Amino acid sequence: MKNSNDKQLCDIAIGDAVLELFNQDAPVSRTTLLAQLEKMIHAGDTAEDVRVARLALELVKSSSTADNAEKSEENVMSFRAKNVAADDSTKH
């Protein structure tokens, strides 16, 4: 990472990719996240969008924590974002 701004932009890009997977009702795993980031690279509207998506892709690829956790399909999480009700409780 060049600076903290790049890190923040990468975090946002990764979050956008995960949200897109949720919206597609797709499983969320390192593999699907990498594929979604690849799509974002190819769909980038500006050079900056492409640059940030590439940085995010490299960050996810180099993540040793994800490497250790992603050993089998058992580690895939599937969320049904459309079917999850928001918690409107005001309890603290």
> Is 1 a residue whose pLDDT tops 60?
no
> Is 35 a residue whose pLDDT tops 80?
yes
User: Residues 60, 34: contact at Cβ < 8 Å?
Assistant: yes
pTM: 0.66
Higher pLDDT, 1 or 88: 88
What pLDDT, in 10s, does the model give residues 25-34? 998 989 999 9
Q: Is 52 exposed, middle or buried (CB count within 10 Å of its CB: 0-12, 13-18, 19+)?
A: buried
What pLDDT, in 10s, does the model give residues 72-83? 455 555 555 455
pLDDT of residue 87: 57
Virtual torsion, Cα 56, 60, 65, 70, nearest 10 deg: 150
